[in-house]
Structure 1
Amino acid sequence: MKGLVCLLLLLETFVFVNGGLNENEISQQLSSEDRRQNPPQTDTLRAEASTDSQQYCHLCFPDIHAALRELTATVTEQKANIRALETRLRDAEQAAEQQTISLEELEKKTDETSNLTLSQVEELRKENRDREIAFSASLMESGDGDVGPFTTEITLTYKNVFTNIGNAYNPITAEKIDQETLLLLDDVTLTSLIPIIGLRLKFKKYLKNALDSVRDILLATPNGRGIVDAIENKHCISLKERQAMVRILVSHLIERFGENPSAGTKVTLASSVVEQFPYLKDCQGKGYEAWFSPGRFHRPATGFLEERLRNVRKRVRKGGQNRVSSENPRTSSSFILPEANVDSERATQMTEWLKNNIWPLSQVEQYMKETSIHRAKWIRDNGTKTIMEIFKEYPRLLDTPGMISQDFLILNPDSASKLTENLVPVFKDKILQFASREKQTLDLLSSVDLMSAETQSDVALQVLPVVLPTSVYKIGRKTFKPTFIETRKAFIDIQPIGTNMAEYLCSKDSKEFPHVLMLGDNQCFQAFAIINGEALEQNTLLAAVDVCFKAFYVFDIDYPKQCSTVWQFLQTVVYGLSGDETPTMRVLRAFIFADKQ
């Protein structure tokens, strides 16, 4: 039976593949033959065979196609993996080649450094072999004796030098006398240090040659005598006289030491200036920093002498370009804010209330006072903010009188009243006397003796741009040298009485940076602090300057470069706040406090 079924399946498959008899014909033939051989079982077998054949035909071909598709996808995936591996292999080979090259370069540099180090060592050894050092000295000139007793530990100095081959021994070094303190040596001190007369005279001759008298240097030139007379008789010099003095001293430096004298030489000359002319000595620091201050902490040297030397070198080597100031004129953000008295949630609630209320005034002032620390922190924590952006968040700062001064008082309680309290008794007369040497101030100072103290203080503020001129500065790629008129307008803009305030406040100048507006000629009729196009009227010009200065701190904005030196002077000298100082500021401060030293 099984054999018969297999035979039937093979026959049916053969007929199907080769396109022979159709299914009906085959069925008829099988039916007749089956009936002859085994009639009872033929129908059943034929039905089973027909069913199996149909299933085979329907299932066999789809399975093969599916398997082929899977195999094709697998081959494609393998090809992609092979390509990726080939790419990674090429990259690895290139990296290995680069590392090999770098390693060879490092080995080459190491060999060069090793050779250089060995050659330097040999040179030092040779230098030490060639150098002969020998000295002999004693504590006393002759005989023996005791030294002391002393209540504190001292350094014994062998002052009597017999032999000093190679100049390795220096009795002055033992007394901790450096190049700067040589200026202060008098005859008594020199006698104690160098008791032998012959050696002492030689040393004094050397000292005289090394430390030229500034007075003699100035008197040896045609313009120097007038400078010396001005310093000794009037205790001050004008801007032009100071510039001429610097030119004379720098010419002397270049003539003796070249274009690049050592820092010690410049310190010595600067020290000599303030020692021989005490009225030029600053009351802070060592007193001579206005003339020369050595560079430190990666910052360049400054001072009149250094700036002149730098300009001379530039003119000689590059055709002459003035030094351009690009530094930030104010660094007020560095001070530490006081602790807040209210928490952040309460401060936020009060800030929202202040945005929508301007009355009652007492509550507005109280809420502004309580939120001042949070406001200052918000201004400084959110990067650079314009006055307009701050005004949108805190509108009461400008439309409520006294809020700027109140915020400044909380931030800097020790400095808030220094300008209004000290300008008249401390600064006014000195500033006017210092400015009297300048030609641009002749009209302002023509009848200053007949003015009241308040009017004199107004004039003193107006002449600050003359005695504190702004150096060259750069905006983008353009270089600017502001004139006296431009500097004064950026500080105090003087307009005639009857100026149309609406038109003035709509102009660009009223919104560029905070400044003072004075209505009147030489005397103030009305005074305003102009901030972001808003005119805050004040009772006096002094009060307007005070509010304007405090606005820079409250809004945390930089001074305008046209008059930054004036604001920096008020910041550091008058208000006593830390900040950068220019040589011209130091000279003016030295003159103001000369009588108090």
Structure 2
Amino acid sequence: MLPPGSSSCTDTLSISSRSSSDLDQTPERPAKRSKKLEDPATAAKEVVLAALNHKAGGDAVLADYRSKNTLTSETRRVLVNILVGHMVEMHGRIPTRNQREQYALGIVILFPALRDPYSKKGYEHFYDVDSGTGYLAWRLKTVQRNTSHRAAKGDAASSDLGGPCLKRSINPEEHLDEDAVREAIALLCHTSEEGQIFFKMKETFHHRHGLVHDPDKTMDILKIFPRFLDTKGLVNQDFRLLFNPETANKLLEKWDTVFKPGIIEEAMGLTLTPAVRSLISSAGKQTIGEDHCKWDSNLATLLLLVHLLPPQPGGKRAAKISAADAADRLVVYHKVMMCVNCFCRSHVLSRPS
């Protein structure tokens, strides 16, 4: 038999052993949590370190930081150029916001002295998610602009490439002389018969195609041929005349299944300004917060393309406008020349489509 009190001693020892084991295990849980929280930072650091080890000049940046515990302005520019080059190589010309932010986070993790102590996250000077600015964003825009400029030169030098600048061959039998073209244009301005409009627009297609390639007259096409604004199907007819019907139908056939979802997906990686948020909401026929759909879904998707286009190459004197202003210029409102009451009685009120 056990002596009296031995059971209580055993219980006390077992309780004490369990308590001590619980205390030993308690610190491990927050350690695991902190490790999980550090994973994004560690991954970002590894991405930046891999880019510096992979690209020429990266070793010099690392050595300069080790010796001075900081980076000069010149070395910092080299660092940004290397990382943007690696970013474009890995993620394409238009990386997402999360990808840009990962590189910015990796910089301040790998180089703690470059962290900004007065900003919220410490790396906004490299990339600010809210405003889309910073060293990485500015360098990325320069790369996009230069890439677009080189691509434009390549297209001009090679006649095998397509695009709107390529002068395609058109059946010469359907060409009209200048007098016949002027008569057809005059008739188009006065006739209201749809069949006659389509026929005359087809006859003047070659003349109109020449205007497209004339930099001085390309902006006047809608003034010379205003029927594009009030007659549905004329753009499609020109497209069929320029290409074969099979090619012309590909855009419409794949629009809802391929092109439109792809544009919306790419736009989600843009900086979500109020204009972009509104267009994404309209394109997806969804409501974000208190925003309401302001555009037809298809038109909103086309307007998103303007925001996805890279900046146009140009000199210091070239006029520059924002993507939002460019989108506003893309939509042309046509005056119907009637009072509001008459218009409301003859049309169903709807948003532009």
TM (norm. structure 2) is: 0.42
Between structures 1 and 2, the one with greater strand share:
1
Higher-Rg member (1/2): 1
